[in-house]
Structure 1
Amino acid sequence: MFELRDLYQQVIVDHNKSPRNFGKLASFNHEADGYNPLCGDKLHIYLNVSDDGIIEDVSFEGEGCAISVASASLMTDALKGTELAAFQQRFEGFQHMVTADIDEEPDTDVLGKLAVLSGVREFPSRIKCASLCWHTMKAAIEDSGKAAKTE
């Protein structure tokens, strides 16, 4: 039987080698850049939100470490088809999960498959890698016009 650590490693490798939702959307109405100056991760989020506040499609481009790419891949999968109103709850839930005590169980009701990234807590210097896509997504939703940074 696999432990969560083994699953964490498998998911990171899988989503890094074959990222889901990678590439520029043909049609989008929100976008933002993200940058992690600590390790050089760069990310661009494309987002298509319907008039009634549904994330119809989301994708990303960029380059970075395996954790950054895998996190963006998992996030885009999780957010596609959800309401914008649910984003903030997931954003806060993800931020709490990656910064919580290592023994605290992740809230799978809020995070679903994203809970596998709770393993990043074992590597504090990598938390910013995992959360870059979330900050970039927030900047895209808010149309801030500024690059999201993890600093």
Structure 2
Amino acid sequence: MIGEQKAAVETEFDEQLYKEEILELYKHPLNKHALPEYTHQQEKSNPLCGDQIRIYLNIQDQIIRDSSFEGNGCAISQAAASLLTEKLKQMPVKDAESLPGEEMIRMLGIPISHLRQKCALLALQAVKGALHFGKEGMGKREQEKWE
């Protein structure tokens, strides 16, 4: 019984730390700027809560050399974009293409409700779109077909 109580307290403490990290990344995001020499880019939006993310990638020799984002939205979408752009640096394209949504949720470190999962996965969807469509990205009509 004591072990279960200790585990519950540790879980609550961990969740609080992750919540604080998400708020910190929202206030002071990593990699939030246009990448001057990008080779791939894509914008995605979530009309339900107004999130908008544009991902920029610089890919050389099938390696993501640099990544950044621009956008606005809730703390979860902005923190996810910040964490993801940091993780992508020096990652092989094939690994980025197969990055699962569960990994994005795990990186955030807190329980994400079904309604907020779209916020958490928006940056990852933009990355996969950028990898698929290249420098010009895709237009709105193509986005609707691709989703």
TM-score range, shorter chain: 0.7 to 0.9
Match of 2:74 in 1: 65
Q: Which residue of 2 aligns with 1:54?
A: 63
> Aligned residue for 2:130?
140
Consecutive unaligned residues of structure 1, counting only runs of 5 or more, are 99-105, 107-113
1:35 match: 45
Q: AA paired with 2:31?
A: N
Write the deviation string for residues 53-83 of structure 1: whole angstroms up to 9, x where unpaired: 0000110001000100000000000111111
> Counterpart of 2:89?
80
CA distance in 1, matches of 2:94, 2:101: 12
TM-score calculated relative to the size of structure 1 = 0.77
Tell me what 1:20 maps to. 30
2:17 maps to 1:7: yes
Q: How many Å separate the matches in 2 of 1:67 and 1:19?
A: 11
Distance 1:57 1:69, change over 3 A: same
Distance 1:128 1:68, change over 3 A: same
Rg (Cα) greater in structure: 2
Structure 2: 5+ residue stretches without partners: 1-9
User: Structure 1 93/126 Cα, relative in aligned 2: closer, same or farther at 3 Å?
Assistant: closer
Letter in 2 for 1:76: T
Note the aligned Cα RMSD (angstroms): 2.0
- CA-to-partner distance for each residue in 1:33-53, whole Å, 9 max, x for gaps? 110011010111111100x20
| Runs of 4+ residues over 3 Å off in structure 1 | 146-149
Identity of aligned residues (%): 36
